[in-house]
Structure 1
């Protein structure tokens, strides 16, 4: 299982690594996943930092991760499948090819989550969402960025009123 549907934790078994909401960056940096797959970081200059990782093999797919941290805590996870036939340059890119990535991402999520999507929509752009009590797993094709991506967004934590 890659994504635990009970709590949204991502298990990267080959790296003995668990990614979870509010995970500390210092904890991530101690993992085999970080040590072997870390590629790059982007400081957005707003308190957010994106960490990029080289692809790993999951369920017979090549899967890359982009982790978004607010200060030093994990806020969201983006992922993408990749195949050799995917466009590598703008000259090779077409919307049709990118939609194939979107469909492949949807199929990948349905397979690993073992359920059909909760919601599919074509407007304002093609998207597929799986709703859980802790948040959403989603896939989208965004024509503005000419890209397809999937990810995990966690619900805001609610502090009980005392």
Structure 2
């Protein structure tokens, strides 16, 4: 199981790595996942740092991660599925291709969470959400950024989010 439905912890079995809200950057740097898949970092200049990782295979899907640290703690987790047929630049991009990514992301989440979405919305933009006591897992197509992606949002007060291994 990639995402633990009890606490939102992501377990990357091939790298023996757990990703969770509150994880320190120093701990991440020492994981096999970081050592093998780290691609680049972007300093947002507000105390937030985004770390991007190359694709890895999970249950037949190519999946990439973007992890956002505030100062030294993991705060935001974004993911995305990828296929060779996806647009590689704006000349190849179409809304139809991007909606295909959105639907593929939804299928991926339903498969790994072993449940249908709790909520589906068409407005203000297409989204799919899986609700849990600790937070939610979501997928969205955002026409403003012309992108589709998935993520995990944690409830602010839920103590199961922090270091629950």
Aligned residues: 159
Query: 1:84-103 to 2 correspondence within 5 Å?
Result: 84-103=84-103
Q: For 1:61 and 1:18, how far apart are their aligned partners in 2?
A: 19
Instruction: Note the 1:54-65 alignment, pairs <5 A.
Output: 54-65=54-65
Match of residue 39 from structure 1: 39
Higher RCO, 1 vs 2 (CA within 8 Å, ≥6 residues apart): 2
- Residue by residue over 1:1-40, the C-alpha shift from the partner in whole angstroms, topping out at 9 and shown as x without a partner, is 0000000000000000000110000000000000010000
Relative to the length of structure 2, the TM-score reads 0.95
- The aligned residue for residue 23 of structure 2 is 23
Partner of 1:68: 68
Is 2:123 aligned against 1:123?
Answer: yes
Residue 76 of structure 1 deviates from its aligned partner by: 1.3
The whole-number CA distance in structure 1 between the counterparts of 2:147 and 2:34 is 25
Structure 1, gaps ≥5 residues long: none
TM-score (norm 1): 0.96
* Equivalence for 2:108: 108
